[in-house]
Structure 1
């Protein structure tokens, strides 16, 4: 194990796999990135691991599957494979939880992680996706493994009005699976105003496996209505000042009426059949995700040496889960969250010379997060949690001779959480007995810490550029789950300390010739007190708090031997160990609910004639055999199940009829492979042993004006 740890730590890279993968469709491979330091930067100046999923890449993947969890699993090497359901449980980044943002607005609910944050927007309104890998505190609570920031579309035309209309159909080779989607985008500029307006709707059909059998109705994306609307209006006050306001709304509701036929783990899958019992009073899904934002930029303060960015935002989120009888009386639960926040960001030029400069960024973040998990009948599963976070920060960046970039910063996290009084739910144990409800007195929890980051990038030659970085995150992830399992009468007796993650990485990237690019990175992240799901004696899930080390390696090769073809691939691998007894003995492994299977992504993209583009994507998930079953029962416990390997191919093609019309087609699971997602194996539960989607095709028509 030590040998594996050292070899992983001595490798290097950063991943921009999806960005260069799309190079046949766009010549701009030096993308502008804003997520890494909240200001526009060329990717060649960023001394950390970044993946950019460009607009054309998103649109290409949309032809295959509109589910953004699927799009990301094919474009981000170190992100876990998806579950094929509405939940993104297990889809961790570098073995830790990820913070999801839309234009910088937090979508995640770390106080009670509902695992619906990745699937919180329709991809039709996304201009690009910026993925910052590794622990980060730059956007606040919850970024233990990194950040996924959906950057929405902006007006890029000087016309008063321009638009993009898309209509698509999906279907399988079995009856009753037809789905439809339609989106309309309008944008333009009128004098000093610019705007973007978008509406998108999708109605999915039944979803079936490779044998034509309905997939499980639990958290199913089948027979679901998905809605997305966006309005963004900007006004250029003058050449230095701009104000912009936006609203983005997303909703999803399922009316799937299939009955649940529970299978047998490892033998027969859980499926949907007949008509459901209709125990659910509210449709599963996310009935609301409202995001409001106002942004102000001033590029000319204090004689032109300082710029200011200020933005204020609000998010109102609610997601609804399926019926559960794990607690007395049964019912459906909701995770409800409201966030109010503001960010002040100043950027002052310290000095500037030929090919060299230094700047300092400083400001403060303010966030109020109000989260609760309740049942439909009003019973509390978690108490009301009201968190206020005030975080001043400072960051210094030095660029020398366009070769050397040095970044270093500090951020002071000051969190206060007010927890309400509540009664725990009476739950049903595996042996049929009950745990009694108890009254828990709330109170105030206080957390504060100084976190830091330091990074260096040295662009030696085009064929080799090196970087190394150290970064920290600070989060109070899954506080609600800890509180809801209280056995004490007061929250002061519970282990609720925050997670502080130290992330170290070393990377190399470069262009060996005109047609060969590469990137490789290694990382190690440590935390004195992590948080993982483990199974208790009565098979209930609890949170284990213990010291952790996660380490891994990822990288890719990209080849463009001619203008009409490109191909390449990526590889990612990770391992995680923990010291359960807190004695420095890291002989135990973090389970598979966080440590994703190693995976290879490969692709070939060709344009045999200017108007025709065709491509083939491959995802190969390796087997994961990290644990032994119980010697007496022969069964694994939750998170430790053996995961077999599988390989899936997707096909996509598009044809430009003329400058206005385009026809696209895609086939997901091209060879109709019968397999199960990784979560079906490592969860070790009969109800979660499910098959994946069989072959499904998409036909899309696009009109641009």
Structure 2
């Protein structure tokens, strides 16, 4: 382990890095971050790597592709590339699962990871995206690789009403691909007491085709999809110190794609959509509901030196998958999840001197997560799982001489899961053997742990700021999948222990000159009992629970030589190893379903005139050849397929007609490159071998008032 940590730190010191930043927006090195400590703090005070995707970045990327998974793959270095589908399977952060939030409300379903959590909001309502990289327990279950928090827009206008209207069309140079999107945002305030934000967005996509004009696979397809997003946020300032806010954010997506499936041949012939017919599907694929309700109360001066924040929230989620024949009589499955939560945060100033200050943040979190996976005909694929999580926490933060920041905290996790009785589904394996349904007696599972974090940041001078941290995450990820493949008649005989991740990070950031800034980071994360999908001899997928180590490097460099141009890029690399027999032999690699290929992001953005902005983004994914095929069959098993390298360019431009009107044009896959997403290769299955989207343009008109 020591050798691994030393090798990563050494590699970090000699490698050139870059991170994609949308250009020609004002660089704000003092950006406020809320996610890292659940309170507003200067980014210079955070002793770990954080990526902030700002509003201008999001809007610029929106002119190319409205899919949030695509926006993230171009802006977050250590996030794996998108599959281009409704599922974000394989899009891990630093080789581990990520916890997705909307304004702090958890969207992920870690009890049964449905891989739909990244794509549950329209980018038009997002003010910024805060990505906290590395294991974190600050928001509870599921943040093994970090946190992605979508922060929605708030009212910043003194007008009673102001707004942004957007209308756009999308299309490819082939018939039937025309799509349409429209969004309306309204905001305002009254008498400095009441403020509001209201938004509605709708998008209708056309057929999605590859570089040769052939329909992409209908499995998890985003084609012929109706996407809806609504938001209403109401705030009232009781006085200078107190504020109450209530919000609702809703998202829905439904597909009416009527293509048949023509399965290809792995590595040779892509799986495509052709003809007509939905096959045996009776319910449209997609996410028919994702409702988020939140009420918050803030008091900046509860008593002298202490501030209070209370959040109450509810999330109601359902997603529908396509037809599957992996179980007897086949069918479509749903993941249904409801979360009820409350967070109480207290922030007490310990002292506040001229050159130093100290504070303690403390409180308690309550979360009830009810998740189940059921078939449309009522059969249970997983049992009902009802988790209650109560977690008190405390974080101490000390700033000395305006240079040194020390942060350390503890969180006590107490999780209780009630598992209902259920019958497993009868299955027919690939080798033709039949597995009968068995009755499994449910029961109560209880998990307790004390997790910690400790970080230090030393801002030596503008050119170099050093940071290092240790953080832990605690989760019971994929409990449902473990239970649904049970071969025991009682859950007490199953391996359902939680995943505890220890994350170590060391990095440096700074501004070399007024026009060059950079960050370089190395990390190692370990877990005594991880969770990885592997393929059994009969080619069925099972979950391997074994000790793991994931390590990597990442960083960015950003150049702004003049006011009218900037450019830069990012690099990320990772590796993962495991000891399946828990014997200390870490010679086995974690497969490619979690460990993504090295990735380079690069960009250039220019403003040749005051009104015109043009830019080019590049994504290069390197070749990933980490495993050998079976010597007898020549086939790869799931997760181990060799992934070829590919490079994609996106063009984006905008022209400000006047202070109210703006038009923009974006072209995705500018050179119409034929390639396949990484999952098509590493999954090593005929049905998953599909091409990526060919060239696609977006034209948008925007009106601000």
Q: TM-score, normalised by structure 1?
A: 0.98
The 2-side partners of 1:9 and 1:91 are apart by 25
For the residue of structure 1 that corresponds to 2:7, the secondary structure is: helix
Change (3 A) 1:465 1:12: farther
**Offset at residue 538 of structure 1 (A):** 1.2
- Does the 8 A contact of 1:246 with 1:292 survive in 2? yes
| Corresponding residue of 1:117 | 117
Question: Could you list the per-position Cα deviations for residues 666-690 of structure 1 after superposition, in whole angstroms to 9, with x for gaps in the alignment?
Answer: 0000000000000000000000000
- Does the 8 A contact of 2:18 with 2:518 survive in 1? no
Matches within 5 A, 1:118-517: 118-191=118-191, 192-303=193-304, 305-517=305-517
Question: Could you list the per-position Cα deviations for residues 5-28 of structure 1 after superposition, in whole angstroms to 9, with x for gaps in the alignment?
Answer: 63213455999976x823512243
| Corresponding residue of 2:657 | 657
- Does the 8 A contact of 1:550 with 1:576 survive in 2? yes
For the residue of structure 2 that corresponds to 1:7, the secondary structure is: helix
Change (3 A) 1:40 1:2: closer
The 1-side partners of 2:85 and 2:396 are apart by 42
For the residue of structure 1 that corresponds to 2:607, the secondary structure is: strand
For the residue of structure 2 that corresponds to 1:242, the secondary structure is: strand
**Offset at residue 144 of structure 1 (A):** 0.1
The 1-side partners of 2:4 and 2:583 are apart by 22
**Offset at residue 402 of structure 1 (A):** 0.8
| Corresponding residue of 1:64 | 64
- Does the 8 A contact of 2:418 with 2:445 survive in 1? yes
- Does the 8 A contact of 2:17 with 2:571 survive in 1? no
Matches within 5 A, 1:544-583: 544-583=544-583
Change (3 A) 1:81 1:160: same
- Does the 8 A contact of 2:621 with 2:645 survive in 1? yes
Is 1:528 paired with 2:511? Answer: no
For the residue of structure 2 that corresponds to 1:323, the secondary structure is: strand
- Does the 8 A contact of 2:621 with 2:646 survive in 1? yes
| Corresponding residue of 2:606 | 606
Is 1:618 paired with 2:621? Answer: no
Change (3 A) 1:301 1:123: same
- Does the 8 A contact of 1:11 with 1:521 survive in 2? no
- Does the 8 A contact of 1:99 with 1:143 survive in 2? yes
**Offset at residue 29 of structure 1 (A):** 3.5
The 2-side partners of 1:699 and 1:563 are apart by 26
For the residue of structure 2 that corresponds to 1:276, the secondary structure is: coil
The 2-side partners of 1:529 and 1:692 are apart by 35
The 1-side partners of 2:224 and 2:265 are apart by 25
- Does the 8 A contact of 1:346 with 1:362 survive in 2? yes
- Does the 8 A contact of 2:23 with 2:565 survive in 1? no
**Offset at residue 2 of structure 1 (A):** 9.0
**Offset at residue 363 of structure 1 (A):** 0.2
The 1-side partners of 2:237 and 2:473 are apart by 36
**Offset at residue 226 of structure 1 (A):** 0.1
- Does the 8 A contact of 2:17 with 2:554 survive in 1? no
For the residue of structure 2 that corresponds to 1:321, the secondary structure is: strand
- Does the 8 A contact of 1:311 with 1:342 survive in 2? yes
The 2-side partners of 1:419 and 1:36 are apart by 32
- Does the 8 A contact of 1:202 with 1:227 survive in 2? yes
**Offset at residue 190 of structure 1 (A):** 1.1
- Does the 8 A contact of 1:393 with 1:411 survive in 2? yes
The 2-side partners of 1:11 and 1:633 are apart by 38
The 2-side partners of 1:31 and 1:666 are apart by 28
**Offset at residue 370 of structure 1 (A):** 0.1
**Offset at residue 428 of structure 1 (A):** 1.4
Q: Which runs of 4+ in 1 moved over 6 A?
A: 1-4, 13-18
For the residue of structure 1 that corresponds to 2:322, the secondary structure is: coil
The 2-side partners of 1:15 and 1:656 are apart by 36
The 1-side partners of 2:626 and 2:552 are apart by 15
**Offset at residue 30 of structure 1 (A):** 2.1
| Corresponding residue of 1:587 | 587
Question: Could you list the per-position Cα deviations for residues 38-68 of structure 1 after superposition, in whole angstroms to 9, with x for gaps in the alignment?
Answer: 0001111111110000001000000000000
Question: Could you list the per-position Cα deviations for residues 303-327 of structure 1 after superposition, in whole angstroms to 9, with x for gaps in the alignment?
Answer: 2x10000000000000000001111
| Corresponding residue of 1:640 | 640
Question: Could you list the per-position Cα deviations for residues 142-162 of structure 1 after superposition, in whole angstroms to 9, with x for gaps in the alignment?
Answer: 000000000000001000000
The 2-side partners of 1:495 and 1:265 are apart by 33
Change (3 A) 1:695 1:108: same
- Does the 8 A contact of 1:640 with 1:683 survive in 2? yes
- Does the 8 A contact of 1:15 with 1:554 survive in 2? no
- Does the 8 A contact of 2:530 with 2:545 survive in 1? yes
Question: Could you list the per-position Cα deviations for residues 121-143 of structure 1 after superposition, in whole angstroms to 9, with x for gaps in the alignment?
Answer: 01110000000000000000000
Structure 2 unmatched ranges of 5 or more = none
**Offset at residue 355 of structure 1 (A):** 2.5
The 2-side partners of 1:371 and 1:144 are apart by 19
The 2-side partners of 1:588 and 1:425 are apart by 32
The 1-side partners of 2:374 and 2:382 are apart by 7
Question: Could you list the per-position Cα deviations for residues 58-102 of structure 1 after superposition, in whole angstroms to 9, with x for gaps in the alignment?
Answer: 000000000000000000000000101000000000000000000
- Does the 8 A contact of 1:419 with 1:443 survive in 2? yes
- Does the 8 A contact of 1:165 with 1:184 survive in 2? yes
Question: Could you list the per-position Cα deviations for residues 560-595 of structure 1 after superposition, in whole angstroms to 9, with x for gaps in the alignment?
Answer: 110000000100000000001100010100000000
| Corresponding residue of 1:539 | 539
Change (3 A) 1:12 1:399: farther
The 2-side partners of 1:65 and 1:468 are apart by 35
The 2-side partners of 1:674 and 1:277 are apart by 27
- Does the 8 A contact of 1:16 with 1:50 survive in 2? no
Question: Could you list the per-position Cα deviations for residues 418-473 of structure 1 after superposition, in whole angstroms to 9, with x for gaps in the alignment?
Answer: 00000000011002232100000000000000000000000001100000000000
- Does the 8 A contact of 1:12 with 1:508 survive in 2? no
- Does the 8 A contact of 2:22 with 2:60 survive in 1? no
- Does the 8 A contact of 1:11 with 1:506 survive in 2? no
